[in-house]
């Protein structure tokens, strides 16, 4: 049974020019301890999907979904207050740019103490011994150690501006896991980090996923870095998931031309000699949400487009993937020039 099961999530934004549908019928599931990567160009709606999962309140945003189940609880049948409570207890969200997410006016120790969970009565007796031993400071140190920070004294007594980007990211992760969430959402956690630091952060997240069975949904455009990290990938384009599947399936035989173009870019980056062999990287622009095409949203940039693509393709369920394309690429197309 999926830990999180969302069907047909739609996010609309009220603008001065009318209501725009930015996220269009996105369906997502994730199982305990699994890592799902949400990839795609900037502006494709990935961050809004995360915000919708958290049901973050914004006056100009309208969320709707046909199904929203968390740990088999149907959140759509609950009041918005109950819904937010369950989400808050089970999901932690780390937004982009950790340095800006931390309060610059407070030392790290104050910020970590604030997110430590309150003790529930039924945990009281089992935790009382630990509580005697573990002061808040000791718990904070343990959290930092688990997040790969050894010099905890310096970190705890620093302000965010005194820390490096990777230290801030590790602090954010320590704070996010303090409440033992079942699901961790991360929006571009490795952007702006050096290669070695990216690896450290991903390794840390992988450890939490494996040891604590924490499910992770990560947004990243850096598919070369997260390739070995995620179990599943979902690619978004213009507010829709155009392909989703296991890492093995997607990177071996992508079905959607957009997915294939991103994977080719990654292959070219890893080995510039490959650049000669593969079809040119994507050209053209992402469509404007004010003037979305009626048919396939990728149509204007797709080298395989045909007349039928003027009709919106439905999602097709494959063996280890699902895709939204009338003319899916055959096996081996990634390495062919046809």
The interface with ligand SF4 within residues 254-283 (CB under 6 A) comprises: 256-257
Q: Which is nearer to ligand SF4, 159 or 327 (CB)?
A: 327
Residues recorded for the chain? 338
| Gap between the Cα atoms of 105 and 114, Å rounded | 14
Rule CB under 6 A: is residue 327 a binding residue for ligand SF4? yes
Q: Phi and psi of 214, rounded to 5°?
A: -75, 130
- Site size toward ligand SF4 (CB under 6 A) is 13
239 backbone φψ class: left, alpha, beta (φ>0; ψ -120 to 50):
left
Q: Which is nearer to ligand SF4, 9 or 325 (CB)?
A: 325
Q: Which helix (H) or strand (E) is 243 found in, with range?
A: strand 240-246
Among 313, 315, 322, 335, binds ligand SF4 (CB under 6 A): 313
Q: 279 with 264: CB under 8 angstroms?
A: yes
Residue with tokens 């910020």: 111
Only one of the segments 64-72, 218-226, 265-273, 302-310 lies at the binding site for ligand SF4 (rule: CB under 6 A); that segment is: 302-310
Smallest gap from Cβ 254 to ligand SF4, in A, equals 11
Among 112, 160, 296, 321, binds ligand SF4 (CB under 6 A): 296
Q: Where are the alpha helices (DSSP H) in 228-324?
A: 247-252, 257-270
Rule CB under 6 A: is residue 113 a binding residue for ligand SF4? no
Smallest gap from Cβ 233 to ligand SF4, in A, equals 17
Q: Which is nearer to ligand SF4, 191 or 305 (CB)?
A: 305
Q: Which is nearer to ligand SF4, 305 or 315 (CB)?
A: 305
Rule CB under 6 A: is residue 218 a binding residue for ligand SF4? no
Among 299, 318, 331, 332, binds ligand SF4 (CB under 6 A): 299
Rule CB under 6 A: is residue 298 a binding residue for ligand SF4? yes
State how far Cα 333 lies from the chain centre.
27
Q: 242 with 258: CB under 8 angstroms?
A: yes
Q: 40 with 235: CB under 8 angstroms?
A: yes
Helix, strand, coil percent content, the chain, rounded in steps of 5: 40, 20, 35
Q: Which is nearer to ligand SF4, 244 or 256 (CB)?
A: 256
DSSP state letters, 101-114: HS-TTS-HHHHHHH
State how far Cα 88 lies from the chain centre.
17
Only one of the segments 72-80, 85-93, 172-180, 292-300 lies at the binding site for ligand SF4 (rule: CB under 6 A); that segment is: 292-300
Residues making contact with ligand SF4 (CB under 6 A): 256-257, 296, 298-299, 302, 304-305, 309, 313, 325-327
């Amino acid at each position: 049974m999926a830990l999180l099961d969302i069907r047909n999530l739609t996010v609309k934004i009220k603008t001065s020019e009318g209501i725009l549908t930015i996220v269009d019928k996105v369906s997502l599931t994730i199982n305990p301890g699994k890592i799902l990567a949400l990839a795609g160009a900037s502006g494709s709606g990935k961050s809004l999907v995360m915000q919708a999962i958290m049901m973050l309140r914004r006056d100009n945003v309208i969320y709707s979904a046909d199904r929203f189940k968390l740990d088999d609880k149907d959140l759509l049948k609950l009041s918005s207050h109950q819904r937010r409570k369950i989400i808050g207890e089970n999901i932690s969200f780390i937004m982009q740019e950790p340095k800006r997410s931390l309060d610059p006016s407070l030392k790290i120790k104050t910020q970590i103490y604030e997110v430590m969970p309150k003790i529930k009565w039924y945990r009281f007796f089992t935790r009382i011994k630990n509580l005697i031993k573990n002061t808040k400071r000791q718990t904070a140190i343990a959290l930092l150690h688990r997040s790969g920070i050894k010099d905890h004294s310096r970190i705890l007594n620093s302000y965010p501006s005194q820390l490096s980007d990777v230290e801030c990211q590790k602090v954010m992760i320590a704070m996010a896991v303090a409440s033992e969430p079942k699901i961790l959402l991360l929006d571009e956690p490795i952007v702006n980090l050096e290669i070695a630091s990216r690896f450290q952060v991903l390794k840390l997240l992988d450890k939490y996923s494996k040891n604590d069975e924490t499910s992770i949904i990560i947004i990243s455009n850096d598919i070369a870095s997260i390739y070995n990290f995620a179990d599943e990938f979902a690619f978004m384009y213009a507010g829709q998931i155009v392909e989703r599947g296991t890492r093995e399936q997607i990177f071996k035989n992508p079905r959607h031309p957009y997915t294939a173009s991103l994977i080719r870019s990654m292959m070219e980056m890893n080995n510039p000699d490959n650049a000669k062999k593969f079809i040119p990287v994507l050209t053209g622009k992402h469509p404007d949400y004010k003037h979305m095409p009626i048919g396939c949203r990728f149509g204007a940039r797709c080298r395989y487009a045909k007349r039928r693509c003027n009709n919106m393709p439905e999602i097709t369920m494959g063996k280890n993937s699902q895709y939204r394309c009338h003319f899916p690429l055959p096996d081996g197309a990634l390495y062919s020039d046809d």
